[in-house]
Amino acid sequence: MHTTPPGPVDMPRIFPQVIPFARTTIRLHPRRGSPTAEQSSVGGPLLWPADEPWPICVGDGAYDHFDDAPDPAEVPLVPVAQLFADDISGIPFPEGTDVLQVLWCPFDHDPWSAPRPELRWRRRADIGALLTTMPAPHQDADPEYVPDPCVVDPEPVTEYPTHDLPDEVRSQIRRTMQQLEADTGWEYETDLAVASGIKVGGYPGWTQSPDWPVCTCGAPMEHLLTVATCEFSRGDERRWIPLEERPAMAGWGFDSADDHPWRAIQNPAGLMLGDAGGIYLFVCASCPDRPFDYRFDCS
Ligand SMILES: [Zn+2]
Ligand SMILES: [Zn+2]
């Protein structure tokens, strides 16, 4: 079990202005383990049809694979997440599908010097004979771009926007935010608003200005999945460490050695995306084939 503690303040009473913007995100709480292809996972094996070629990247953008050009130039994508409709609510599966698979190329790409993701939507019952061995990551791939296998423990959490809050609402709550912080130490942005870590739906935890993709149909895309480097970061750990793991985290600090047990809780997939940033995936829920786009964001 992984339980995010409830917000420390009565949001409807203290911040009534943000209540209309509440969204539910599903924190996946990935933790190192040995997921099978039959399970939802982060970085685990995928249910992959034996007769379907594994996707590769040839790095065809001008700066793709730029600093670390792999040899040979064809790179197998690596599994990032597999999510079953039975396990996780709120994913806008295209009609007739119930498995979402996310893969990416573990080298830098235009325009953000970050891995480039791809999605597969499948119907579990139609997959048939399975590929039994996933291709090994490319020998030159940066291990920090290859998620370590993690089991997941999805938990719905209510969150409120930070950078996505309209300016007029933000100015309405500014004094309350300052007063709350002065009185209690709790900060709206880090403790009360957007949930940390790898998660489905809800709001991206933008560090830069929001940059929501718009579909070719004209509709703004929805946030599908955040693949964050860390499950929590310096400053937001008071709220976002699951209650069950707080004993194991006692005495931890960001200065602790890398092999300290807390690292497996704070950075379970062993990722480092830029400066502890994240890759946000978006889909258009209006178009039946779910056009997809993504953003890379870090401080
Ligand atoms: Zn690539
Ligand atoms: Zn669309």
Q: Does residue 92 sit in the same domain as residue 238?
A: no
> Do both 90 and 136 map to the same domain?
yes
Both 66 and 186 in one domain: the answer is: no
Ligand 2 centre to CA of 214 (Å) is 8
- Distance set, CA 98 to CA 82, 91, 208, 237 (Å): 11, 9, 33, 33
Is the same domain home to 163 and 189? yes
With 90 as the cut, is the pLDDT of residue 252 above it?
Answer: no
pLDDT at residue 258 is higher than 80? no
Q: What DSSP state is assigned to residue 237?
A: H
Domain end, chosen from 109, 127, 151, is at: 151
* Residue 56 domain flag: yes
CA of 50 to the centre of ligand 1 (A): 23
Are 37 and 22 part of one and the same domain? no
Q: Which domain holds residue 241?
A: 11-30+155-297
Q: How many helices (H) and strands (E) does the chain have?
A: 5, 14
- The residue from 151, 172, 190 where one domain ends is 151
Average confidence (pLDDT) over 210-223: 98
Higher pLDDT, 95 or 260: 95
CA distance 283 to 108: 22
Phi-psi label, residue 161: left if phi above 0, alpha if psi -120 to 50, beta otherwise:
beta
pLDDT at 167 over 90: yes
| pLDDT band at residue 249 using 50, 70 and 90 as cut-offs | confident
Q: What is the pLDDT of residue 198?
A: 98
Count of structural domains within the chain: 2
Tell me which residue of 107, 196, 198 sits closest to 146, measured CA to CA. Answer: 107
Q: Which residues surround ligand 1, an ion (CB under 5 A)?
A: 57, 59, 105, 107
Considering the domain architecture, whether residues 243 and 168 belong to the same structural domain is answered as yes
Per-residue pLDDT tens for 47-98? 999 999 999 999 888 888 877 777 778 999 999 999 999 999 999 999 999 9
Distance of CA 161 to the CA centre of its chain: 16
**Is residue 197 a contact partner of residue 42, using CB atoms and an 8 Å limit?**
no
Tell me the pLDDT tens digit for each residue of 107-156: 999 898 899 999 999 999 999 999 999 999 999 999 999 999 999 999 99
Whether residues 272 and 135 share a domain: the answer is no
Task: State the DSSP code for 52.
Answer: S
Report how far ligand 1's centroid is from the alpha carbon of 56 (Å).
8
| Residue among 206, 80, 89 at smallest CA distance from 156 | 89
Could you tell me if 26 and 60 lie in one domain?
no
Ligand nearest to the CA of 55: 1
- The partner residues of 150 in beta bridges, in order of sequence, read 32, 42
If asked whether residues 165 and 293 sit together in one domain, one would say yes
Over the chain, what is the mean pLDDT?
A: 94
Residue type present at position 279: I
Tokens of 43: 């970085």
Kindly report the pTM of this predicted structure. Answer: 0.95
CA of 98 to the centre of ligand 1 (A): 27
Confidence of residue 256 (pLDDT cuts 50, 70, 90): confident
Would you say residue 3 lies in a domain? no
Quick check: 243 pLDDT over 80? yes
Together in a domain, 249 and 167: yes
